[in-house]
Each structure stands twice: as structure tokens, then as C-alpha cells.
Amino acid sequence: MTQITEAAVREAVREILAQMQLAETASPAPAPAVAPVAGDDVRMTIRDLGPAKAGTSPTEVVLALAPAFGDKLKTKTITGISHAAVLREILAGIEEEGCTPRVIRVWHTSDVAFVGLTGAKLAGSGIGIGLQSRGTTVIHQRDLFPLQNLELFPQAPVIDLETYRAIGRNAARYAKGSTPDPVKQKNDQMARPKYQAIAAVFHIRETSFVDREKKPVDVEVRFA
């Protein structure tokens, strides 16, 4: 059995980055013949608005996006689910529980824990959801330490649209003062070795958009 070493992962990352850079400068190639991912028909426009202020409504849940989510990197998660579909499901889950979602973008960090905590601190309810471009997610609470959380979803490759909706629902339940059962997560022991290199690429590229001098901003999201 071949051992996956750190050196091998770094080499794979270098190769993928080189391929991505070449693809950005080359003429578009025909799309591969693959089955569409559920939710691919969802389209959205997303734009940053003014500085995000602390909310006051006890039923407000903030969905905090990492710097590149939705428009500056690939607009799909690590497994090809469109960012538009992911947002739609999380927001729908929050609304199903009678809470009000607000979307912000966090610029000063790409770490999902700190992104989620920033959202929680700005939410009227004190509950926030952090979301990275690759699909990694967390439900956070404003009075917890950054590396503590209510629920963490670290394996983006196994998160599907149903799970994203459930994450929105649970976040809203926490906002209402409930103690819901944690969202059930799938477990795939092969996900890490299979996606480790491309996950590193996602994080490196997202981190390149971090601006430590910029404050969080409110975001307008429109679906088509």
C-alpha cells in the first residue's frame, strides 16, 4: 500500500496550482460529460454592502462567508455542489424554524472557526454559521472560544444539500434556546487522502483574499 507523505501532498498541490493557473490563461475547454450535481440549476448574484453591525433581533442567525465564497474562487464546493445551492439550503433551514437569516462576509480570516465566531458575535441571537468555499462549515456561539463550537462539519466532501439545510435548521434551534440533537454526519475514512491536496489548494487560494484591515460587511444574495 502506497503511503501518502507530506512531500507527496505538497507536490500534488504545486501541480494543481500550476494547472489552475494555466487554465485561467488558456481558452475554455469543452465541459466534461459528467452528471449534474443536485442544485446546479440554482443561480445567484452576491455583492458586498456596507459594514456589518451587531444585530438586535433575538431570532437573527448570521451566515458568515469566508473571503472568497461565491464569487472570487470556484463557485462550487470541493465536491462540485454550487455555492448558490449551499446558501439556499442553509438559509431555507434557518427560515423553516422561524428565524431570520443575515449573510455577511468576513475578510480578516479564512479560518472557518473564526469566521463562524465573527458571525455569532454580530448575530442578534448570538448564533452564527461559518462557511468556507470548499464547503467546510461550523455552527458557533458568541460566548465560546474560537476553537470551541456548537457543531463542526470538518469533512466537506461528505456534506450534501440535505445536511446543509439541517445545519441551518439546527442553528435556528440554538437561536431559539433549544438544545437540538447534532446534525448527523456521514463518515468516509477515504475522504481525507482523496481530497487532501485539493482541499489545501482551496484553502491557499481563499487565504490569498484575506485582508486583515477590512471589517466584516453585510452581503446581499439574490437567487434566480
**Is pLDDT of 200 > 50?**
yes
What residues are paired with 102 via a beta bridge? 62
Least confident of 37-46, 49-58, 163-172: 37-46
For residue 30, what pLDDT band results from cuts at 50, 70 and 90?
Answer: very low
Please count the residues of the chain. Answer: 224
What residues are paired with 82 via a beta bridge? 76
3-state SS string over the chain? Answer: CCCCCHHHHHHHHHHHHHHHHHHHHCCCCCCCCCCCCCCCCCCEEEEEEEECCCCCCCCEEEEEECCCCCCCCCCECCCCCEHHHHHHHHHHHHHHCCCEEEEEECCCCCCHHHHHHHHHHHCCCCEEEEECCCCCEEEEECCCCCCCCCEEECCHHHCCHHHHHHHHHHHHHHHCCCCCCCCCCCCCCCHHHHHHHHHHHHHHHHHCCCCCCCCCEEEEEEEC
Question: What global pTM score does this model have?
Answer: 0.81
Alpha carbon distance 20, 193 (integer Å) = 20
Mean pLDDT along residues 77-86: 92
Mean pLDDT along residues 20-41: 44
Question: Strands 137-141 and 127-131, how do they pair?
Answer: antiparallel
Q: What is the pLDDT of residue 202?
A: 83
Q: What is the pLDDT of residue 73?
A: 61
Predicted confidence (pLDDT) per residue in 116-158, tens digit: 999 999 999 999 999 999 999 999 999 999 999 999 999 898 9
How large is the greatest C-alpha to C-alpha distance in the chain, in angstroms?
56
Q: What is the pLDDT of residue 17?
A: 56
Q: What is the pLDDT of residue 197?
A: 79
Structural domains for the chain: 44-223 (3.40.50.10150)
C-alpha pair distances (Å), 184 with each of 13, 42, 148: 31, 25, 19
